[in-house]
Structure formats: C-alpha cells, structure tokens
Structure 1
Amino acid sequence: MPPRSIATASITFGLVSIPVRLFPATSSKAISFNLLHAKDNSRIQQKIYCPVDDAIIDRSELVRGYEIEKGRYVTFTDQELKNLEARGDHAIEISEFIPIEEVDPVFFESPFLLGCEPTSARAYRLLAKAMDDTRQVAVARYTMRGKEHVVLIRNYKDGLMLHTMHYGDEVRGFGEIDHGADAPAKPAEVDLAKRLIGDLTQKKFDIDQYKDGYRERVIEAASQKASGQEIAEPPPEVQRGKVIDLMSALKESLKKRGVEVKADRDAGELGKEAPEEAEKSRAPKERARRRAR
C-alpha cells in the first residue's frame, strides 16, 4: 500500500502544469522516551502554569505573543494569524533553472518525494528527462500550510524530489567563529593530507554501511530489561591522545592504512620555512647584533 500524501500541487513553468502529490522523503527512527513518575511508572501530565497568578490555567486562556523588545509583547488571536497566512493556489511555480553545483547544501531544509497523477505521468517524465539531460535543477515558489517557501526540484533516482529551502537570512556565516584563517597549512602537511584523503576515497557513497549505534544499543537494552536481564556495563571508552604534532599524526594515519611514508623527505619539507617566515625570524636577531656593536 503506497504511503499517504501530505499535499497536492501543480508544478508550473510557462504554460505547462503538472499535477503532483507530495510525500515525506524521510522517516525519523530516533529513540524517544516518555516521562514517568519513578514511584509507580505512571505517565506524568504537564500543566500550564502562570507564575503571576500562581495558578494552573486552561488552554482556552492562552494567546500567542510576539516579543518586540525584552519583556514587551504584542498578542495575536488564532484568527488574526490565519488572516496573515499566504494565499496559496497549490502551484509550485518554477522561476528559474540552475546547475545543482550553484546551490550550497546548507540551504536544504526538508525533502519530499513528488509523485505524479495518472493524468500527468507523461508531462512528469518529460520534465524529469529534460532536467536530467541538461543537468539542471528547478527553483520555485510554493505556499504550503500558509507559509511561503523557496523550493528546489531535482532528479532523484527515477523521479523528482522537492526540497524546501532556508532563506538567505536564515543561514549563518562564520562571523567571529575561529575557523583557522590565520593558521595556513604547510605544503608538506597538505601533501600528506591529500594522500590520506586519496586512500580513503570511494567511488560511490553507501549510506547503509553506517548504523545508529545508540539506537541499536537502546533497543537491545530495552529488550533485556523487559526479559528481566541485567544490562552489562559498557566497556570504557578508548581515550584518544592529543595531537601535538600534526605532521606525525598524518604520517601515523597513513602507516596504519598501509601507505608507505618516506620520513626523511617529508621531515625535510616540513622543516623548510617559507621565505617570508624566515625573513621575519631573522630580523629580530639581526637588530640585536647591531645594538650589541
């Protein structure tokens, strides 16, 4: 039985309209827990508490508040917010086609599979084929649940996928975050890092080789508890040593993977200072000698 769609829409570009259905492309398998009273394992209830009145209040007494400055709010009723929602006509309106390389993955938000209607199968396949042949993706506007979205449509396996996108002002830059701009790597270090990357490089990505170890351990522990077994203590974590010498760490990583490293050559290259660095280190010594005379 096919999954239930969450919305219907029509992809439009030019005079072409392609009816589609949206299906969630992912399903979270994250572990979740219920909060229980430790005394009797009964589920707790969360009440809405007003600290000003020192009282439990009913949900009917709630309004939504938007903070315009610290501690100051303007309030909205549900109807007022409903009136502000975008008026959508179920159209995914394509505004441009671009190379996928132009889109940084940081802008991707939620993925949806696009399924076609029986009447739109031919047009759906036509769009998918044309985008695949030209290696382009579509950028479009789409209103869903009262909110306006920028979305991206791309080929995925044998169909089309839609990604909702973050707006530009929602994505952060490094700003004041230290990202090593003042610590350039030495050529010999870069060479060893490239060799390590090359040895770890695979032609294809296989997500199935990665497993959620935490989820598997929790499920196993829950099964053991349910059958009255004791849960074994996990083995102590292996402490990783601090990387004191980056060059040595790179060499050791290569050796562990069976890659030959010529220590003398690499050490010699690492010991070479760049002309600018050498000049800076000589200058104070030269001034000191002159003063001594």
Structure 2
Amino acid sequence: MAARALWKGAISFGLVHIPVDLYTAVQEHGLDLSMLDRRDFSPVGYKRYNKKTGKDVEWDDIVKGYEYEDGEYVVLTDEDLKRANVEATQTIDIQAFVDAADVPLTYYEHPYYLAPSKGGAKVYALLRETLRKAGKIGIATVVIRTRQHLCALVCMDDKIVLNTLRFDTEIRDSEDLKLPPATLKGAGISDKELTMALSLVEGMSEEWKPSQYHDTYQEDVMALVKKKIKAGQTKTLTAPEPERKAPRSSNVVDLVALLQDSLGKRPAKGAAKDKAADEAPAPRKRASPAKAAGKSTADKSTAGKSGKTATAKAARTAGAGKAGAKHGATRKAA
C-alpha cells in the first residue's frame, strides 16, 4: 500500500522554493485494550450527543467552534483555518541554520519524512547535501492541521527528516529537581569509580542496531493473555499485591563492589579490557584452569611454609585437564 501524504506544501528559505510532501515516519504498536463494564464485562462505548437535546449527532453534522463567551461560539471551518494565514499553512519556512548539538534532546517531539513533489527533486537534493556538508540543521515553522509547530530539518541518509520541536515555553524548568552537583568532587565520585565505570561502558559498547530491540513488555502481556485463556480465567480480576516497602535511605551502596561485579559479568573488549586490568581491581570471578595451574606451581614452591594453603588451593582446582594433573602432583608433594 502506497504511503499517503499528510501535508503538501513547500520548503522555503531565501528565494529557494522546494515542493514537498510530508509523511509520518513512525507507527505505534501499543496494546489495543477495550474498555469494559466490570459488572458484566460488556464493551463500553463512546457516544456523541447534543448536550441540549440529548439526541445523537452524526459525524457529518459536527463542526468546530471557538467559545469566545460562556455558551457562545464562533464557527470555524477548515477553509476558515486555512484562510487565516494561507502561506503559513502551505510553507515550511526555514528561519535559521544551527548546529544539531545546540538543540537539546528535550526539544525533539515527532519525526516526519519529507519527499520532493513533482519537479522538486534537484533542489531537494541540493538542500539535503548542503545540510550534510555544513553539518547544520534547519530551524523552521510549519502549520500541521490547526497548530503551528517549530521544527528541525535534518539530513538523514538520502532523505530530509522534519522533526517537530517543542517551543521553549513548553519545556519545564529543572531548577526544582534535586540533582547531584555537576563536579566529580561535589558528587562524591572518586577517580577509581569513574575509571571503572568508563571501562564498563567501553566493554558494553557496540554498533547501533535498532532491529535487535523490541517491546518485550508487550510480548509478556500477550503471553499472560494466552495463559489466562488456556486456564479459563478470562473473567478473573487479579487482586493487586501489597506494595513493597522502599529501601531505607540509610542503606549504603558499595559502588566499587557493584562496578567490580559488573565488570566480572561483562568483560571489557580489546583495549578497554587491558585498561580495566591495569587500572581497576580484579573482577570477582572463578579462575580459569590455565591460571589455576600456574597458581598451583607457585604454591608448590612455597609448600614448606604454607603446606595447608597450597593443598587447599590445589584441591579446589584439581580435575581440569592438564591443570588437574599438576594439582594432583602438588597434593602428592605436599
């Protein structure tokens, strides 16, 4: 099925005019849950009715209006909304070009694809490559349906993406949040903790592959649905469990220990692995047979001073191929 354009107009900057069509770039996959009456589990419907007469109203009889006084409305049709500012409703007007890094992520809202309309391919490609070479994004305004949006035009591969932005007045102030100090010293973070955290991040770093991520929660919910159907519990109302008590604030977390355990579970890759070995304490994990064999030899050389210790260590690592044979010899010598 061919994609359907949500909006048709043009990108405008300076004297340049690029005819384009706007397409949605995302699709939702949320759970489609119906509203039910808990008394008999019948679907709950939504009714459009005239609040004065109480009678049902068909879609064809519905118009939009702005309430300028209590109970008094100005009727506004789609044509009225268009005529209010024809240029604004048909133009993506670029106001400026800025560095993408200068726009915080909190401003980004919803992505759309822009594709050239008939006769606009060359100038569309020119803008795309200009954005790519300059390393900039275009900040523009556009009216979609009945609302004006601030937006960013971003070059992505072979297309231009229009991402609507929130206005500055829509971003809440963060001054009321209780955040840790911006400096390492003020936040109580040691150099060792930062080094180990960096080693963990490097060890877990990989190429961005969006296809490997999916909504596992929705899969779990659907598995629960099938389970309830199989058990004949389709009308069972599950009672909520008692709320778990929040951990006491007096509990002190040993951050170094957590980082050590994390490094042990996810060993670093390449240079990061060597860096972790040099700068961070050894992770808590069981020794490999080869390392155990080397340790057994060292124990054998000091058997006269600590025979019991050497014997215990050799016994724990016995039975692992060649390492096991060496451990057996150590025990015999002891």
TM-score by length of 1: 0.70
Question: How far does residue 74 in structure 1 lie from its aligned partner after superposition?
Answer: 5.8
Aligned counterpart, 2:260: 251
Q: How does 1:34-53 map to 2 (within 5 A)?
A: 34-46=34-46
Deviation at 1:63?
Answer: 8.2
User: Counterpart in 1 of 2:32?
Assistant: 32
Q: CA deviation at 1:191?
A: 1.6
Cα shift readout 1:152-172 (whole Å, capped 9, x = no counterpart): 101122111101110111112
Please, which of 255, 271, 281 is the counterpart of residue 262 of structure 1? Answer: 281
How far, CA to CA, are the matches of 1:13 and 1:84 in structure 2? Answer: 24
Alpha-carbon separation, structure 2, partners of 1:92 and 1:63: 27
CA contact (8 A) 2:92 2:142 kept: yes
Counterpart pick for 2:73 among 74, 77, 80 = 77
Deviation at 1:25, TM superposition (A): 0.5
Q: What is the CA distance between 1:65 and its match in structure 2?
A: 6.8
Secondary structure (helix, strand or coil) at the match of 2:187 reads: coil
Q: Name the larger-Rg structure.
A: 2
- Change beyond 3 A, Cα 1:105–1:255: same
Paired with 1:63 and 1:126, the residues of 2 have a C-alpha distance of 42
Q: Which residue pairs with 1:113 in the alignment?
A: 113
Structure-1 separation of matches of 2:187 and 2:55: 57
Task: Please say if residues 9 and 92 of structure 1, whose CA atoms lie closer than 8 Å, have aligned partners that are also in contact.
Answer: yes
2:205 is matched with 201
Pairwise CA RMSD of aligned residues? Answer: 3.5
Stretch deviating more after TM superposition (139-148 or 78-87): 78-87
Alignment pair present for 1:183 and 2:202: no
- Shift of the 206–177 alpha-carbon distance from structure 1 to 2, 3 Å rule, reads same
Alignment match of 1:192 (pick from 188, 191, 196) = 196
Normalising by the residue count of structure 2, what TM-score does the alignment of the two structures yield? Answer: 0.62
Q: Is the Cα–Cα contact under 8 Å of residues 11 and 20 in structure 2 kept in the other structure? A: yes
Correspondence list, 1:1-293, <5 A:
1-46=1-46, 77=73, 79=75, 87-89=85-87, 90-181=90-181, 183-202=187-206, 204-223=207-226, 228=230, 244-258=253-267, 260=277, 261-262=280-281
Matches of 1:27 and 1:96 in 2, distance apart? 30
Gaps of 5+ in 1: 50-54, 67-72, 234-240, 264-293
The Cα of 1:42 is off from its aligned counterpart by: 2.5
Q: How many residues align?
A: 243
In the TM superposition, residue 109 of structure 1 has moved relative to its aligned partner by 0.9
Name whichever structure is richer in strand by fraction.
1
Higher relative contact order (CA 8 A, sep 6+): 1
Using the alignment, how far apart are the partners of 2:55 and 2:171 within structure 1?
38
Structure 1 residues 64 and 92: alpha-carbon distance in aligned structure 2, compared to 1, 3 A threshold? closer
Q: Secondary structure at the match of 1:77?
A: strand
The 1:6–1:22 alpha-carbon spacing in structure 2 relative to 1, beyond 3 Å, is: same
2:73 alignment partner AA: T
8 Å CA contact retained: 1:88, 1:144: no
Structure 1 residue 88, shift from structure 2 partner? 3.9
Q: Please state how far the C-alpha of 1:45 moved relative to its aligned partner.
A: 2.8
* 1:192 to 1:40, Cα distance in 2 relative to 1, 3 A: same
- Which has the higher mean CA deviation after the structures are superposed, 243-252 or 155-164? 243-252
> Take 2:86 and 2:189, find their aligned partners in 1: how far apart are those partners?
52
- What's the offset of the Cα at 1:80? 6.5
State whether residues 10 and 18 of structure 2, in contact with CA within 8 Å, keep that contact through their aligned partners in structure 1: yes
Give the AA of the match of 1:249.
Answer: L
Gaps of 5+ in 2: 239-246, 268-275, 283-334
Contact 2:23 2:112 in 1 (8 A): yes
CA distance in 2, matches of 1:64, 1:124: 38
- Which residue type is aligned with residue 206 of structure 1? K
